[in-house]
């Protein structure tokens, strides 16, 4: 079974309007509310791939109840800690030109007792998991080495941790030796503090992250595919050209593909094909964190993994 950790989930509310004017009341019947947060996107895609998921994190208030109901409907089992605070809502208002306004709430503050309850329930379930994904930024109040604490539990049991976060939250948790980290090019540039133009630039920056403790690193490049460096080898993944509809959540979908391939003990070349096929398939959907398995299987055939 694949475990997913979403420490700062959100209700993603989308409103489509004709035009983004200010000081005018807008009415619309084109709107949706979904269970969001990077880890929940991963959970959804893993479910679509047909694997069992156990989701962990924090939920609070009626917003938390809403998310719990939504993920249960998708067949995602979960051990969310019920918190005193209220789960956040993220708002996206989009007009007919494709312009949008996005408002992201900061989210609740997690108490020490809530953090300890999460660690306890996670430890009680680790034997049931093969691979665990840990995604997204950290909520307020929580120790910033929380991912490291969870990864230690994962590694002690010989299971595999995939860490997908950025900036300081990534750096401070690398010494726990996650099996895989997956910054995109921009996130890696922000960490290194420079522009990464060539393969050599990317390779050098990847080495720095490996030296800090990651066992493997995948650098996703949007429509240009992915680089991978680490103890499983060095690779460039070339993907087919497609008509992208909405690439938001492609990174989360590629994490789901990695978790799927690794949990099935596939060869690294096959794992990389799954990760990228899921990312590409997500970019072809309107919804975030959604794939069509038939499309994934078609794309798998068109992906080329080059050994560096």
For the annotated catalytic residues, the residue numbers are: 252
Element of type H or E holding 252? helix 250-263
Query: What is the dihedral angle through the alpha carbons of 184, 187, 188, 190, rounded to the nearest 10 degrees?
Result: 160
> CA 296 to CA 287: how far, in whole Å?
16
How many CA atoms are closer than 13 Å to the CA of 6, on its beta-carbon side? Answer: 29
- Should residue 4 be labelled a site residue for ligand ATP when binding is judged by CB under 6 A? no
Supply the minimum distance, in Å, between the C-beta of residue 103 and ligand ATP.
18
> How many helices (H) and strands (E) would you count in the chain?
10, 14
Using CB under 6 A as the binding rule, the residues of this chain from 257 to 276 that contact ligand ATP are 276
Backbone φ, ψ for residue 303 (5° rounding) = -90, 140
**List 252, 259, 273, 290, residue binding ligand ATP (CB under 6 A):** 252
78/250 with CB nearer ligand ATP: 250
- Should residue 37 be labelled a site residue for ligand ATP when binding is judged by CB under 6 A? no
- Should residue 166 be labelled a site residue for ligand ATP when binding is judged by CB under 6 A? no
> CA 36 to CA 44: how far, in whole Å?
10
In the shown chain, the binding pattern of residues 66 to 105 toward ligand ATP, with x for contact by CB under 6 A and - for none, equals: ----------------------------------------
- Should residue 165 be labelled a site residue for ligand ATP when binding is judged by CB under 6 A? no
- Should residue 119 be labelled a site residue for ligand ATP when binding is judged by CB under 6 A? no
**15 Cβ partners below 8 Å, 6+ apart?**
26, 28, 30, 31, 91, 92, 93, 94
**List 239, 256, 259, 271, residue binding ligand ATP (CB under 6 A):** 239
Using CB under 6 A as the binding rule, the residues of this chain from 175 to 234 that contact ligand ATP are 184, 220-223, 225-226
Q: Is 125 exposed, middle or buried (0-12, 13-18, 19+ CB in 10 A)?
A: middle
State the residues that interact with ligand ATP by CB under 6 A: 184, 220-223, 225-226, 239, 242, 244, 247-252, 254, 276, 279-280, 283
């Amino acid at each position: 079974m694949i475990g997913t950790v979403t420490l700062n989930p959100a209700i993603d509310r989308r409103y489509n309007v004709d035009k983004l004017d200010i000081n005018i009341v807008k009415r619309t019947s084109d709107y949706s509310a979904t269970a969001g947060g990077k880890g929940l996107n991963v959970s959804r895609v893993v479910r679509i791939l047909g694997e069992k998921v156990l989701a962990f994190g924090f939920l609070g208030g009626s917003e938390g109840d809403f998310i719990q109901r939504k993920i249960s409907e998708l067949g995602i089992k979960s051990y969310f800690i019920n918190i005193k605070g209220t789960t956040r809502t993220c708002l996206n208002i989009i007009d007919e030109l494709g312009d949008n306004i996005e408002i992201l709430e900061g989210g609740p503050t997690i108490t020490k007792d809530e953090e300890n309850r999460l660690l306890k329930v996670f430890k009680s379930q680790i034997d049931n998991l093969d691979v665990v994904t840990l995604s997204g930024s950290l909520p307020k109040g929580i120790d910033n080495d929380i991912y490291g604490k969870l990864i230690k539990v994962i590694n002690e049991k010989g299971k595999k941790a995939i860490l997908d976060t950025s900036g300081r939250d990534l750096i401070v948790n690398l010494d726990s030796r996650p099996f895989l980290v997956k910054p995109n090019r921009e996130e890696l540039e922000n960490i290194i503090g420079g522009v990464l133009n060539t393969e050599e630039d990317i390779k050098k920056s990847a080495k720095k992250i490996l030296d800090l403790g990651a066992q493997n690193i995948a650098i996703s490049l949007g429509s240009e595919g992915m680089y991978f460096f680490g103890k499983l080898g060095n690779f460039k993944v070339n993907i087919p050209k497609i008509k992208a509809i909405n690439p938001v959540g492609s990174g989360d979908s590629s994490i789901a593909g990695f978790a799927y391939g690794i949990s099935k003990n596939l060869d690294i070349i096959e794992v990389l094909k799954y990760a990228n096929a899921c990312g590409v398939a997500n970019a072809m959907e309107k919804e975030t964190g959604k794939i069509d398995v038939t499309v994934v299987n078609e794309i798998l055939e068109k992906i080329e993994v080059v050994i560096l």
